[in-house]
Structure 1
Amino acid sequence: MIHLAPFYDQLEAVQLGDAHFDAQGRVVLGGDIDRKTICLRPMRKGLPEISAERIGEQIRVHLYGHGGSGWTLLWGSVNKAMALFEERARAHKLNDQVSVTVIGAGCMGKAVALSLYQAGYRNLRVVAEKDDGIASLNSTGYLAMVSMATENKSEKKEAEQLAIETLKGYQKVDKGTHSIINEGVHLIDVYSGLGKEGEEGPLETYTGIEPFAEAGLLPKPEQGVVKFSTGVNYPMQKFRTYFMDTAVIMAAFDRELRTRNIPVVRGTIGSLDDIKTDVVFNCSGLGAAKLNHDDRVYPNMGLLLELAHQPLNKLDYIIYTRYQPPGAPKRASPVDKADIYFMPRRGGLLGATFIDHNDGSDNALNEALFTRILRENKQFFGYSL
């Protein structure tokens, strides 16, 4: 049930007047467009894999497959993985001197390493193929259940519980009371459409914030009108959720790792059997498909247009809505996926498409999607093409 509380919000529009297409209709870099980015999310059919096992004398904890919801499920997933590990450690009478290798330098891997240190373990290292340009850094930082592959109500409920625990973790970060980091997180307004199928403009959209609002952890949505500085206005819903500045948080993780002398080592792991430490935390993302012989893991491609010259101090909001451009063929994408997706991360960005089972190698498709992203955002924000 939507709580009606009419609003009239006047917002600065994203600056897209100096964003252009070339003769072939492709997005041109320069002006308001700084960079085109392709990111691959480690999606897993069903739920993320969070489990522990003993292989010979080694304990292995698996923590991967969160798709585009790694930040949304972060603290809940790390806490569950740590609980499984501590249970095994007690059963096998391990002490805090055991050697531990964490595979993966994304948000899961680094948060796990810091959680292990906090629990008293000191013989730690993080091993990763790369530590820059990774999915955790490219992530938009939107706390919402919008990029997972759960297959039934039970799985969805379990994922929601991980997300609710994660939300409580970000509330502590925002208040400055979290035990690991205390920066890079704040509440933000999220606008989504109210239009019905077949209408033009922003359409009713599942934002992924609904479970938090229904649980009373975030405000219920309000209905009202948004008017942008370009003159266009739309009836929309306004939600509130947490925005995580992923670059700031990852930098904080890195600083805390250095402070605790936990090394991050560049290296490629061919097999889990190659690691000889007492404990392994497998936070390898897409690499888990090979390392854990998990055929349920696959890439979900996202595309981002990173922006330049944006007045970010006036753009502290998120747009997450399906959108039917005027005069365009009816949208054929799934009804729960956004077409207009603006985030105020870094210089601001547009995009975040959800293309399942796609490794980003089809350049023609990528350019067509970049073009669609820019065209539709220009129309949405009130700019001529």
Structure 2
Amino acid sequence: MNRRTLLQGMGSSLAFASTSAIPWGTLQAAGTTPDQGEPRGNRQAIRKDAPLVPVDAHVDRITEIYTCLRPFRLAGPRIETQALGNKIVVHNYGHGGSGWSLSWGSSRLALQLLSKSAPAQKRLAVIGCGPMGLTSAILAQRAGLSVTIYAKELPPQIASMGATGHWSPDSQFCSTESGAGWTDRWIEMADFSYRMYQSLLGLPGDPVEWYYGYKLSSVPFGSVAAHKTTEFAKFNNPNRRYQPIQLDLAADAHPFSYPYARRWQNMLFNINTYARLLLSDFLAGGGTIKVQNFENAQQLLGLPEQAIINATGYGAKALFNDMDIIPIRGQTARLVQQPDVNYAIRADDFFFLPRRDGLVIQYIDRAGSYNNTDDTPDPKESADAIQQLANVMNGIQS
């Protein structure tokens, strides 16, 4: 099999992507993640949940506060080919809040573009060592290319290490107006990425695992319109549901003081473990990493490789003068681990996740994050979120 055929056939030939099993049924409408509006098919829970271990929610348990600028583009991510001198560049960036979730599927599309534009190339340079860079590099290796990653920072220093780490394939992906043009490609990316993540379940360190959580409200769900700074497109796959349907809980079926509760399940990435796994797989496959910073695209002409994948995320704004990138500020706080805490909470203005590499809490719905270039950590923002979580813990019924 030649390299071009191999790249085009990645969906069925890659080593650890299992395509035979389609979970949750194949003919049901897509579910929604906790902050994506009203799910379909709610039904009453049929049992009470086991007692929950309370979260020790105090600011003195913060181990780190992360801020990052998510690279959002109204027209959607940039996955396209560009000629740069005598080199071919395939762009793979601009996924907003969907970067970790869609990385495998987006990188697969990028490699397919490369196979059409430069089928004879045996060497590849990948610029950037975030989720897009690492997955692009690994997929290229598995297609037989010799790959070198060039990056100014490596995990855990990269900005995307501060992401919440839950499966959110259409989070701030593109504007509503651009959504229709992305439907088929989004399904292709989400479907391939989802299958790849299923193959990572159960590995040492739990780089990927399933978790369950509770959405809590003082008023009926859907009775208050969510505050939005812009309209983001929402997608679903009519042939595959990526999360189980959310369940409305009866008042005596949950331990919280809120009158309305909903239970969901979703995938979670323990990003520290997962990033180390990706790095290890890349290096074990013979890959090379060079720490190097590029201030403009012309400097890429000095690379020995003729084929390049640009996976620089928000950095592409300066590197390729992409003025279509809109920064969406995000901040998370990491708390000391509690191994017995295995549930998430979405309530009031915060989102809490039971990551094994540190409990994660995020203040959400705060105005001013859209088109905000300030990546300075705000301790008060994290303290507010932790206080809200503490209030939920204090209200847990015995």
Q: 2:247 aligns to what?
A: 222
Q: 2:33 aligns to what?
A: none
Match of 2:384, SS? helix
* 2:324 equivalent to 1:283: no
Of 320, 331, 340 in structure 1, the residue corresponding to residue 350 of structure 2 is: 340
Match of 1:38, SS? strand
TM-score if structure 1 supplies the norm length? 0.77
Match of 1:358, SS? coil
Alignment check: 8 A CA contact 1:212 1:218 kept: no
* 2:65 equivalent to 1:36: yes
TM-score if structure 2 supplies the norm length? 0.75
Residue 105 of structure 1: how far off its partner (Å):
0.6
Residue 2 of structure 1: how far off its partner (Å):
2.1
* Identical residues among aligned pairs (%): 21
Q: 2:296 aligns to what?
A: 271
Q: 2:198 aligns to what?
A: 171
Residue 299 of structure 1: how far off its partner (Å):
2.2
Measure the CA separation in 2 of the matches of 1:213 and 1:381.
Answer: 38
Moved over 6 A (4+): 197-200
* 1:9-24 to 2 correspondences below 5 Å: 9=49, 10-16=51-57, 19=58
* 1:1-385 to 2 correspondences below 5 Å: 1-6=40-45, 7-9=47-49, 10-16=51-57, 19=58, 30=60, 32-90=61-119, 94-96=120-122, 99-122=123-146, 124-131=147-154, 132-144=156-168, 145-152=170-177, 153-155=179-181, 157=183, 158-174=185-201, 184-193=207-216, 195-196=219-220, 211=236, 215-225=240-250, 227-228=254-255, 232=257, 234-275=259-300, 276=303, 277-308=305-336, 310-312=337-339, 314-321=340-347, 323=348, 339-345=349-355, 346-351=357-362, 353=364, 355-360=369-374, 366-382=378-394
Residue 108 of structure 1: how far off its partner (Å):
0.9
Residue 71 of structure 1: how far off its partner (Å):
1.1
Alignment check: 8 A CA contact 1:65 1:285 kept: yes
Alignment check: 8 A CA contact 1:44 1:67 kept: yes
Measure the CA separation in 1 of the matches of 2:239 and 2:344.
Answer: 20
Match of 2:96, SS? coil
Alignment check: 8 A CA contact 1:227 1:233 kept: no
Residue 168 of structure 1: how far off its partner (Å):
1.9
Alignment check: 8 A CA contact 1:67 1:147 kept: yes
Match of 2:139, SS? helix
Measure the CA separation in 1 of the matches of 2:310 and 2:237.
Answer: 29
Label 1:95 to 1:268 Cα distance change in 2 as closer, same or farther (>3 A). closer
Measure the CA separation in 1 of the matches of 2:391 and 2:278.
Answer: 39
More divergent stretch after superposition (181-190 vs 292-301) = 181-190
- Count of matched residue positions in the alignment of Structure 1 and Structure 2: 336
Deviations 1:22-77 (A, max 9, x none): xxxxxx5x3x2323222222222231111113334211100001122111111110
Residue 349 of structure 1: how far off its partner (Å):
1.6
Match of 1:71, SS? helix
5+ residue gaps, structure 2, are: 1-39
Say which structure is richer in strand: 1
Q: 1:332 aligns to what?
A: none
Residue 304 of structure 1: how far off its partner (Å):
1.6
